[in-house]
Amino acid sequence: MNKLAVMISGHGSNLEAILKAGLPVGIVIADRPCRGLEVARAAGVPCECIERTNFTSSFDRDGYTRRVLDVLVLEKATHVAMAGYMTLFSGAMFDCYKDNIFNTHPSILPSFPGAHAVRDAIAYGVKITGCTIHVATAARDKGRILLQAAVNVYEGETEEILHARIKGIECLLYPRVLRQQMNIP
Ligand code: GRF
Return the ligand 1 atom nearest residue 118 CA: 2
Evaluate if residue 171 carries a pLDDT over 90: yes
Whether 106 lines ligand 1, by a CB cut-off of 6 Å, is yes
Q: Whose CA is nearest to atom 7 of ligand 1?
A: 84
pLDDT tens track for 128-138: 999 999 999 99
pLDDT tens track for 111-129: 999 999 999 999 999 999 9
The best mutation among 7, 9, 14 to test binding of ligand 1, ranked by most ligand atoms within 8 Å of the C-beta, falls on 14
Axis-axis angle for helices 13-20, 35-43 (nearest 10): 20
pLDDT tens track for 38-62: 999 999 999 999 999 988 999 999 9
H-state helical runs in the chain:
13-20, 35-43, 61-74, 91-97, 117-124, 159-181
Whether 134 lines ligand 1, by a CB cut-off of 6 Å, is no
**Least confident interval from 54-58, 71-75, 94-98, 136-140:** 54-58
Whether 175 lines ligand 1, by a CB cut-off of 6 Å, is no
pTM of the predicted model, to two decimals?
0.96
Mean pLDDT of 147-170: 98
Mean pLDDT computed over every residue of the chain: 97
- Known catalytic residues are 105
Q: What is the pLDDT of residue 55?
A: 87
- DSSP assignment, residue 32? S
Report how far residue 86's alpha carbon sits from residue 56's, in angstroms, rounded to the nearest whole number: 14
pLDDT band per the 50, 70, 90 thresholds, residue 9: very high
The answer to whether 139 and 114 are in contact (CB under 8 A) is no
